[in-house]
């Protein structure tokens, strides 16, 4: 059953290889680390009175478990699913299954890269979609998701 007052907490999900941020292909992903991403997201959310629980995993099932658990105590999800964006029906089903509004974010401009990155299993069910802003995209996605959650915008 839906809560009347949703918790002021977001789940931040980072998928495979995003633990390597800072050293991974810096020409594409920049030099900021996963810790920087998690801090930026938490600081952005805190400005609106939301807290953030952050998870990163290289394992698809662990990501699904974290999304399922969010249904109990989170109002929405900010997710960079990494390569699973382009491959995982299971991830899409987890997100639609818990029925939490979510923001899809990509550090790079996936549409300017290889064709296999142009398709996302998440985009058509996301309420917010941010690509190509570097790690600042996490702040944009967080602000826009909170705007949707608090009825201040439509994404």
Active site residue 29: yes
Q: Give the one residue of 17, 19, 58, 87 binding ligand DQA; rule: CB under 6 A.
A: 17
Dihedral of alpha carbons 51, 1, 80, 19, sign: positive
Q: Which residues contact 141 (CB under 8 A, 6 or more apart)?
A: 78, 103, 104, 105, 128, 130
Interface stretch with ligand DQA, choices 40-48, 66-74, 81-89, 140-148 (CB under 6 A)? 81-89
Q: Least distance (Å) from ligand DQA to the CB of residue 149?
A: 23
Give whichever of 17 and 140 is closer to ligand DQA, judged by the CB atom.
17
Q: Give, in order, the Cα–Cα distances in Å from 63 to each of 48, 66, 75, 117.
A: 26, 5, 17, 20
Query: Is 20 an interacting residue with respect to ligand DQA (CB under 6 A)?
Result: no
- The three-point CA angle 58-21-110 to 5° equals 85
- Looking at the annotation, which residues are catalytic? 29, 106
- Binding site residues, ligand DQA, CB under 6 A: 17, 80, 82-83, 85, 106-108, 110, 117
């Amino acid at each position: 059953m839906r809560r009347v007052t949703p918790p002021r907490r977001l789940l931040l999900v980072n998928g495979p290889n995003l633990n390597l941020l800072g050293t991974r292909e810096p020409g594409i992903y920049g030099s900021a680390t996963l810790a920087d991403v998690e801090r930026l997201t938490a600081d952005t959310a805190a400005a609106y009175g939301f807290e953030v629980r952050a998870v990163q995993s290289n394992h698809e099932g662990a990501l699904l478990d974290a999304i399922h658990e969010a249904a109990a105590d989170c109002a929405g999800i900010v997710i960079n699913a990494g390569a699973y964006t382009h491959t995982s029906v299971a991830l899409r089903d987890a997100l639609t299954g818990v029925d939490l509004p979510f923001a899809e974010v990509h550090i790079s401009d996936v549409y300017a890269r290889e064709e296999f990155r142009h398709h996302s299993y998440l985009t058509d069910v996301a309420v917010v979609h941010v690509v190509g802003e570097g790690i600042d995209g996490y702040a944009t996605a967080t602000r826009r998701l909170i705007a949707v959650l608090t009825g201040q915008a439509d994404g």
